[in-house]
Chain A
Amino acid sequence: MKRSKYDLAVGLFVAFGLMSLVFLALKVGNLAGYDSGDGYRIEARFDNIGGLKVRAAVKSAGVVVGRVEAIVLDPETYEAKTVLRLDPRYRFSKDTIASILTSGLLGEQYVNLEVGGDSVYLGNGDRVVKTQPAMILEKLIGQFLYNKAAENTGSK
């Protein structure tokens, strides 16, 4: 009858909506991945984070293993203090090196974790001791020019 026609159509409508939401969650977004809200947090301090943003990826061997959760400037040391939230499935040794790299020439910046050999693992709230700051293009060019100049004066 009339009522069941409405029920059927609206049921279909809602089902389509849910299906597309699942599509958005799994295929478009990354709900299936690490970002389920939990995970453990580690801290890393950098001299310079370059263009790193909150929510940037944390990768290890190119695999996304977490996200940058917060970036603040330490008012005493003037270092950038970042909080990284990592997937609990992955564990990293105490002597892991954190560096800020760029995906491609103009791509987004991300935090790379390179695992060391220590048998003790980083836990919640621990701090990564070894870090490498982001490379700043201007500084790099400046350094290059300076070196060239030094070479030239040296050879003369």
Chain B
Amino acid sequence: MNRLLEPLADLGHVVLSALARLGLVGRFFLGILAVLWLPIRRFSLLVREVYFSGFRSLLIVTVSGLFVGMVLAVQGYEVLQRFGSAESLGVLVALSLVRELGPVVTALLFAGRAGSATTAEIGLMQATDQIAAMDMMAVNPMARIIAPRFLAAVVSVPILACLFISAGIFGSYLVGVQLIGIDEGAFWSQMQASVDFRLDVINGLIKAVVFGVAIGLISVFEGYYAPPTAEGVSSATTRTVVVSSLAVLMLDFVLTVWMFRGLS
């Protein structure tokens, strides 16, 4: 009897602890929001974190964008030319980048490049008592350490997404127009005619902001609650990447359904 019920009890335990963790994340999030004024008032704190998470991700994001755009151009052309509408390549590339690939791939790259680093840094600060020391010096670590890193992610991801999309479109221009020889005028004008600034670009940026919030929250949370051991910090870092990626993809689905319902 006991043996039979054991898996069920395990499942219940897993669900309960997952829910408890979610509640903890929620409380932690509110805690961050309550002290978010500090990195805004003391701007240099924010600038430093944007440097480490945003500026340092610049290269990987733009280079990835360039190549994603180039690949899209090759694959898109391959399909479009069968229907004799190769000039629509610009539309295809721009819409895929602006609406989906830009925010999503940027967020995934950011989680791997900057989110994991943030988790490791905060986890180590926790393990070496640096956060406790700050707390004992009557300096609130939530405001001084956590909030700037969270806000930096929220600021950086949309900026990086813009750069990723621009680099991608430039890449597809290089391949489509310069290499394959699609008419340049058609490439740009068709793109302009079907990419709407508010509905496509702004929605894409809203996605990027939401992803930034998710990654920022997950990476500081995992770091803050990482067990103070080498193993604890390393598994927290891994978890940041895994959980962030899943969160980004799930949020993307929800946001896409919400933003583009009823549209083609």
Contact with B along A1-45 (1 / 0, CB 8 A): 001001101101110110011011101111101010100000000
B100 to chain A, nearest CB (A): 15
Contact yes or no, A28 B51, CB < 8 A: no
Contact yes or no, B51 A9, CB < 8 A: yes
Which B40-62 residues have a C-beta within 8 angstroms of A? 44, 47-48, 50-51, 54-55, 58
Check A37/B58 contact, CB under 8 A, given A20-B163, A30-B193: no
Q: Does B195 sit within 8 A of A, measured CB to CB?
A: yes
With beta carbons under 8 angstroms apart, the residue of A3, A20, A25, A64 that contacts B193 is A64
Closest to A29 in B: B197
Contact yes or no, B200 A29, CB < 8 A: yes
Q: Does B94 sit within 8 A of A, measured CB to CB?
A: yes
Closest to B93 in A: A28
Contact yes or no, A28 B55, CB < 8 A: no
Contact yes or no, B195 A30, CB < 8 A: yes
Which A103-123 residues have a C-beta within 8 angstroms of B? 104, 106-108
State in angstroms the CA–CA spacing of A28 and B166 once bound together.
9
Check A31/B263 contact, CB under 8 A, given A17-B159, A20-B165: no
A84 to chain B, nearest CB (A): 15
Q: Does A127 sit within 8 A of B, measured CB to CB?
A: no
Contact yes or no, B197 A35, CB < 8 A: yes
With beta carbons under 8 angstroms apart, the residue of A12, A14, A21, A28 that contacts B94 is A28
State in angstroms the CA–CA spacing of A31 and B196 once bound together.
7
Contact yes or no, A53 B264, CB < 8 A: yes
State in angstroms the CA–CA spacing of A25 and B188 once bound together.
13
User: Size range of the interface on B?
Assistant: 35 or more
State in angstroms the CA–CA spacing of A24 and B208 once bound together.
15
Q: Does A55 sit within 8 A of B, measured CB to CB?
A: yes
Q: Does B198 sit within 8 A of A, measured CB to CB?
A: yes
Q: Does B89 sit within 8 A of A, measured CB to CB?
A: no
With beta carbons under 8 angstroms apart, the residue of A10, A35, A53 that contacts B196 is A35
Contact yes or no, B192 A24, CB < 8 A: no
Q: Does B169 sit within 8 A of A, measured CB to CB?
A: yes
Closest to B102 in A: A24
Q: Does B85 sit within 8 A of A, measured CB to CB?
A: yes
State in angstroms the CA–CA spacing of A144 and B94 once bound together.
39
Closest to B160 in A: A17
Q: Does A49 sit within 8 A of B, measured CB to CB?
A: no
Contact with A along B155-173 (1 / 0, CB 8 A): 0001110110110010000
Residues of B close to A53: CB separation below 8 A:
263-264
Residues of A close to B44: CB separation below 8 A:
3, 6-7
With beta carbons under 8 angstroms apart, the residue of B47, B83, B191, B193 that contacts A57 is B193
Contact with B along A34-72 (1 / 0, CB 8 A): 010100000000000000011101000000100000000
Contact yes or no, B197 A25, CB < 8 A: yes
State in angstroms the CA–CA spacing of A142 and B196 once bound together.
37
State in angstroms the CA–CA spacing of A21 and B201 once bound together.
9
Contact yes or no, A28 B58, CB < 8 A: no
Other A-B pairs, 15, CB within 8 Å; known A3-B44, A13-B50, A13-B55:
A10-B54, A12-B55, A13-B54, A20-B163, A21-B201, A27-B188, A28-B191, A28-B195, A29-B195, A30-B192, A31-B197, A33-B192, A37-B198, A53-B263, A108-B194
Question: Can you name 30 A-B residue pairings with CB atoms under 8 Å?
Answer: A3-B44, A6-B44, A6-B48, A10-B54, A13-B50, A16-B159, A17-B158, A17-B159, A17-B162, A17-B163, A21-B162, A21-B201, A23-B166, A24-B98, A24-B162, A24-B201, A28-B98, A28-B201, A29-B98, A29-B192, A29-B196, A29-B197, A29-B200, A29-B201, A37-B198, A53-B263, A54-B263, A55-B263, A55-B264, A104-B85
Q: Give B residues with C-beta under 8 Å from A.
A: 44, 47-48, 50-51, 54-55, 58, 83, 85, 94, 98, 158-160, 162-163, 165-166, 169, 188, 191-201, 262-264
| 6 tightest A-B CB contacts, nearest first | A17-B159, A20-B166, A29-B197, A31-B197, A20-B162, A13-B55
